[in-house]
């Protein structure tokens, strides 16, 4: 399978994930992996990528130790997982759902804390210097109307005097939930899963001066066979014998590895723009994948990592092009599990 076909298949796999969540609603990573028959390492990487691209959202609520992944617009479907909330948070959830809007200083301290914790369902707003919390299905406009009409005055604690609310100043603010932080956590989990699947290299690959100059060693012998009864200027047959010329890219790869004093067995693949072999580096084994392409993408990294995971080996990825922004972010996380070198 060539690099184009493999890249296209990876994009298809992401589409399969999106279609599954679209039809099943908020889903756990284990369910996604099982239903689409993809190992958890690859599916987790795809989920992180889709989350980074804002194609998916992730819940603050956890089912066991895992969050739920859902499409924008499926937020209301998280209600069916509310039974997984801890005790006080579940109590705050049901209270807020019933009342629609709660005034924070009228709540017991434990409920105040819980309202700040159930970020999938509880949204903060300020009105006349007081803090209120509105439920997921209550819009900001409806929440303000409830407050102005005095219908958000439910109190858990004795209130001697309820101050008159006058609509002079309104500030609505939702506490930000950092999707970037969640993406970072998922990337760390992907790396952890890959670490468990491969044999860990003990040392970094040593740097050295690399001389990429090369002289193709090619010998071609051409013999001409003539029929003396014919025109001597028109040879009857030409035969070529000798060693087949190596592609320039393969020669570059071999020179790079020899310049690093890296040994390898017979290549698994050796084509015009693709090379694959098992390397021996300081008594560690690596899967070396090399490609001749202008840019390295997220899909390229996932492809070589999948190959490395199947062989239970860390990967050395050599390419003629530079990684794009997303690929570079993943390389920073993967560290020595995927060593990238450009030639």
Q: Based on the domain organization, do 48 and 156 belong to the same domain?
A: no
Q: Work out how many domains the chain is built from and give that number.
A: 3
Q: Based on the domain organization, do 47 and 187 belong to the same domain?
A: yes
pLDDT, mean of residues 119-145: 95
Report whether 41 contacts 190 (CB < 8 A).
Answer: yes
Q: What is the mean pLDDT of the chain?
A: 79
Could you tell me if residue 319 is inside a domain? yes
CA atoms of 231 and 226, how far apart (whole Å): 9
CA atoms of 10 and 300, how far apart (whole Å): 9
Could you tell me if residue 171 is inside a domain? no
Q: Based on the domain organization, do 66 and 93 belong to the same domain?
A: no
Could you tell me if residue 245 is inside a domain? yes
Cα–Cα–Cα angle for 337, 200, 267, nearest 5°?
70
Could you tell me if residue 207 is inside a domain? no
Q: Which residue has the tokens 């030409």?
A: 238
> Using one digit for the tens of pLDDT, what is the confidence trace for 162-213?
444 344 344 444 444 456 667 777 777 777 777 777 765 544 544 433 333 3
Q: Based on the domain organization, do 185 and 131 belong to the same domain?
A: no
Determine how many CB atoms are found less than 10 A away from the CB of residue 176.
7
Question: Residue 240: CA atoms inside 13 Å, Cβ hemisphere, count?
Answer: 6
CA atoms of 26 and 19, how far apart (whole Å): 12
Q: Based on the domain organization, do 59 and 36 belong to the same domain?
A: yes
CATH number at residue 155: 1.10.10
> Using one digit for the tens of pLDDT, what is the confidence trace for 239-278?
555 556 788 888 888 888 888 888 887 788 888 888 899 9
Q: Which domain holds residue 284?
A: 220-342
> Using one digit for the tens of pLDDT, what is the confidence trace for 40-57?
888 888 898 899 889 999
Per-residue b/e over 97-119, b at no fewer than 16 CB within 10 Å? bebbbbbeebbeeebbebbbbbb
User: Would you give the DSSP letter of residue 228?
Assistant: T
pLDDT (0 to 100) of residue 201? 54
CA atoms of 193 and 190, how far apart (whole Å): 5
Q: Based on the domain organization, do 185 and 129 belong to the same domain?
A: no
Could you tell me if residue 31 is inside a domain? yes
């Amino acid at each position: 399978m060539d690099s184009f076909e493999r890249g296209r298949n990876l994009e298809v796999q992401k589409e399969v994930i999106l279609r599954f969540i679209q039809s099943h609603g908020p889903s756990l990573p284990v369910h996604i992996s099982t239903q689409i028959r993809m190992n958890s390492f690859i599916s987790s990487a795809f989920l992180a990528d889709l989350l980074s691209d804002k194609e998916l959202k992730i819940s603050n609520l956890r089912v066991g130790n895992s969050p739920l992944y859902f499409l924008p617009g499926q937020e209301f479907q998280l209600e069916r997982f509310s039974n997984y909330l801890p005790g006080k948070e579940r109590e705050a959830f049901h209270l807020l759902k019933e009342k629609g809007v709660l005034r924070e200083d009228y709540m017991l301290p434990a409920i105040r804390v819980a309202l700040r914790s159930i970020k999938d369902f509880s949204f903060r707003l300020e009105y006349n210097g007081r803090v209120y919390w509105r439920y997921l299905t209550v819009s900001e406009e409806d929440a303000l109307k409830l407050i102005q009409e005095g219908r958000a005055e439910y109190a858990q604690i004795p209130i001697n005097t309820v101050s008159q609310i006058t609509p002079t100043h309104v500030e609505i603010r939702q506490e930000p939930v950092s999707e970037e932080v969640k993406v970072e956590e998922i990337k760390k989990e992907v790396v952890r899963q890959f670490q468990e699947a491969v044999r860990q290299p003990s040392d970094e690959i040593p740097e050295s001066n690399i001389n990429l100059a090369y002289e193709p060693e090619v010998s071609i012998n051409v013999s001409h066979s003539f029929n003396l009864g014919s025109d001597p200027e028109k040879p009857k047959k030409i035969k070529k014998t000798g060693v087949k010329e190596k592609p320039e890219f393969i020669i570059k790869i071999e020179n790079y590895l020899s310049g690093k004093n890296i040994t390898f067995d017979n290549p698994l693949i050796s084509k015009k723009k693709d090379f694959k072999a098992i390397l021996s580096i300081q008594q560690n084994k690596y899967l070396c994948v090399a490609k001749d392409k202008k840019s390295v993408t997220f899909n390229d990294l996932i492809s070589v990592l999948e190959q490395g995971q199947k062989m239970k080996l860390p990967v050395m990825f050599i390419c003629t092009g530079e990684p794009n922004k997303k690929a570079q972010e993943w390389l920073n996380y993967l560290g020595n599990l995927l060593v990238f070198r450009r030639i």
